[in-house]
Structure 1
Amino acid sequence: MESILNVAKHLKENAQSLSNTIVDDIVPTFPHSVSLQEINQAKIVYTEFLQFLGNSLLKTEENVHTELIKWSKKNGELQAALGQPISTVIVRYPSTRSIFIDHLTAVSMAYQLPPLEMINLMKRFNYLLDLSLNEAIFAFERLTEEKFAANRRQINELSAPIVSIQEGIAVLPLIGLIDQERAQYLVEHIVPKIPSLHIETLIVDFSGILMIDNQVADQLLKVSSMLKLLGIAVVSTGIRPQIAQAMIQEGVNLSAIRSYATVRQALEEMNKLKI
């Protein structure tokens, strides 16, 4: 027991110098170059890990698990914030593990750690390292997904602008791929803004759309129905023949919506009706 106490004390007291040595040994084994900033960051991370390992040797697994998850999440989020792919972290683990084990073995032998305690030390190290990798990946994925979600929201906002083209008439140009998420965004965020524009007719222009499925088409029909209840007429323009054919085959009924080939044609017809 005294031997493991000495090893734990050594790891905590010499964490920084040991970390510097380990990083200097690890970096040349990487298949790609590493910046000085990354090297310095790695030394900080490994110093914390060695201190954590030293403290964990005499703690319960539950306490170890809780503290390590918090530490690993921080490192995973840091990696994501740097904009680096998670593969740059994973690819370094095999050589990192091997060199760590070499140094831990040397420390264990210096303090004459019995074989069974040395095995337990290596098991604890591997457990912590694997747990750290898992939690770092989870944190990286979570933060990356949050960034993607924020980008998708911004794309949705920019890809469905409502443009007023003359008194009482506005155009909603649909551009790109209209999937279920974008259709839902239209229903929840775009439609509620339309009444405040004080328009009588909304032209939904499909000329920038290559294809939509029947579920999305149904959502767009719901948009039309909602606007009709608000006293706003909806007309469509720019529906390509292949889109119209696909909608008919899927059983989507567009007969309730007036349709024109172009926005210009729709405006000309509406202006004639006003005369």
Structure 2
Amino acid sequence: MYPVQELHEFLLEKAAQLTEEWYDSLDKSGPHGVYAATDSNAVELLKKQNYEFHLQFCQLFVQEESTFLSGFENWIIQIAKDEQHLSTPIHFIVREFFRTRDQYLHFIKEFVFSNKEKYSQEFIDLWNKKVINTIDKVVIWFMEEHHEFSVKRLQCQQEMINELSSPVITLNRHTGLLPLVGDIDTARAKLILEKTLKQCSEKRVDCLLIDLSGVIMIDTMVAQQLFHLVEALALIGVKTTLSGIRPEIAQTAVQLGLDFDQIIITSTLSRAIDSSKIG
């Protein structure tokens, strides 16, 4: 049997041991993430993922690199998009890759020790180098995939936040309320304009109350976008009332020379509702 095949079989036999020793020595003290899981099902899944890593990684010694990496792709993508791993700080995950690398270096040493004088230092150096270089490639590959899925996850979350952050709430048959809360940047302001026009048209709103009491600060571009919203609403026949404008926002609007003549303004939302005669 060739040396690499003997090493391959030796490591495959140690795969379950590698997983158990890895998990036993795992730092589980983190406040969150996949390594802090205490649920038995989550722990078993984590061990299963680690064990599958070993089954795949052992092929390193008997396959061409291109074939090995192609076979490894599914494992990397599955772990990179795993919700628990996406919720884990990336440096924790990288740390575990390097701890696993050290496990392999240790077991190669054990394999050589159990076969004294059978393998030259040249073989040992070659195997160690192969493990180190491959783990480096796997870590970089994993981080790229993890980053891509993290970005997609954040984009989906942001889209959901945007979807929920500018709802036109129907108060009665023809009156709606748009409560704006939090920071509004230019991108969100444009989204609010688009969604508000669409919702007012779909809900047949004739009068829209826009409450700004939850908005702490807006810049000049956002202020312009909000007043463009009022103008656009007027073009589709929607009468607008603004309420809860903070002094900072009022100052910005005045500095821009924005025209308030065609806009009803009240100090509070309750007054806006009263002025709209909503019963």
Q: Indicate the SS of the match to 1:198.
A: coil
- Aligned: 1:149 with 2:145: no
Q: Measure, in 1, the Cα distance between the counterparts of 2:83 and 2:275.
A: 57
Which residue number in structure 1 is paired with residue 55 of structure 2?
51
Counterpart pick for 1:26 among 18, 22, 26: 22
Q: Indicate the SS of the match to 1:170.
A: strand
TM-score calculated relative to the size of structure 1: 0.78
- Aligned: 1:92 with 2:96: yes
Identical counterparts, % of pairs: 20
More relative contact order, 1 or 2 (CA 8 Å, 6+ apart): 1
Counterpart pick for 2:122 among 116, 120, 136: 116
Deviation of the 1:103 alpha carbon: 0.5
Deviation of the 1:210 alpha carbon: 1.0
Q: Indicate the SS of the match to 1:45.
A: helix
Which residue number in structure 2 is paired with residue 7 of structure 1?
7
Computed over aligned residues only, the root mean square deviation of the Cα atoms, in angstroms, reads 3.2
Q: Match for 2:119: what amino acid?
A: L
Deviation of the 1:18 alpha carbon: 0.6
Q: Measure, in 2, the Cα distance between the counterparts of 1:165 and 1:41.
A: 49
Is contact 2:189–2:225 with CA below 8 Å preserved after alignment? yes
Is contact 2:176–2:209 with CA below 8 Å preserved after alignment? yes
Q: Measure, in 2, the Cα distance between the counterparts of 1:103 and 1:94.
A: 14
Larger deviation, residues 222-231 vs 141-150: 141-150
Change (3 A) 1:81 1:5: closer
Is contact 1:169–1:201 with CA below 8 Å preserved after alignment? yes
CA shift digits 1:54-111 (9 cap, x unpaired): 3333444333333333321212223636844444423434433222211022224545
Counterpart pick for 1:172 among 168, 178, 195: 178
Q: Indicate the SS of the match to 1:253.
A: coil
Unaligned 5+ segments in structure 2 are 30-34
> How is 1:1-275 mapped onto 2 (pairs within 5 angstroms)?
2-11=2-11, 15=12, 17-32=13-28, 35=38, 40-78=44-82, 80=84, 83-110=87-114, 112-249=118-255, 251=256, 253-255=258-260, 257-258=262-263, 259-266=265-272
TM-score calculated relative to the size of structure 2: 0.77
Q: Measure, in 2, the Cα distance between the counterparts of 1:264 and 1:44.
A: 58
Change (3 A) 1:54 1:217: same
Q: Measure, in 1, the Cα distance between the counterparts of 2:163 and 2:42.
A: 36
Count of matched residue positions in the alignment of Structure 1 and Structure 2: 266
Change (3 A) 1:51 1:92: closer
Q: Indicate the SS of the match to 1:92.
A: helix
Change (3 A) 1:43 1:174: closer
Is contact 1:207–1:237 with CA below 8 Å preserved after alignment? yes
Unaligned 5+ segments in structure 1 are none
